[in-house]
Amino acid sequence: MSDITELLQGRKLKKFAAGKEVIRQGDQTGCLYFLVEGTVEILRDGMPVATASESGVVFGEMSALLETPHTATVRTIGPCTFCIVPDSRAFLESSPSLSHSVSRLLAQRLDEVNRYLVKVKHKFKGDDRLDVVINSLEGLLHHHPLRFHAPPLSNAAGSSAQRSAVPPTRGQR
């Protein structure tokens, strides 16, 4: 977290009273939100899914990286202070260590979801009433985009070496 604290030095802080929405699910702000102090709850479709109180915790990273609306609401439980970074993409690109930290965070979350899906699948396997749910979980567990788009390689001459990275498909491995 010290890397994040250093990167946030000199930026404006915003205070929120208890019960205020910092991020609203469905909005698209283009911002990253770093919790400096306080406790928040995270809600998805109005249902509480987690709380957070660790200084330096980041919110809005999925929206920033995917350039999509926020997938959850972040609401203060008590008074909170945030550092809000408006140009999230440029901020992430300015710091490889921050980008790595965000990548690790997202990988940890994905790993937790995958573990949970496997547990649910094992628990209800063979229950004919839940076959649709099990099949849906199976689909989620094995759904991977076929392509990812990396930024072009930097090349001062602008040669044809600039290409999007495309991982091999199953038949090419």
- As a whole number of angstroms, the distance between CA 15 and CA 68 comes to 25
Is pLDDT of 155 > 50? no
Residue 89: which of 55, 60, 56 has the closest Cα? 60
Per mean pLDDT, which range of 42-46, 119-123, 132-136, 166-170 is the poorest? 166-170
Is-above-0.85 flag for pTM? no
Q: Look at 126 and 149; give whichever has higher pLDDT.
A: 126
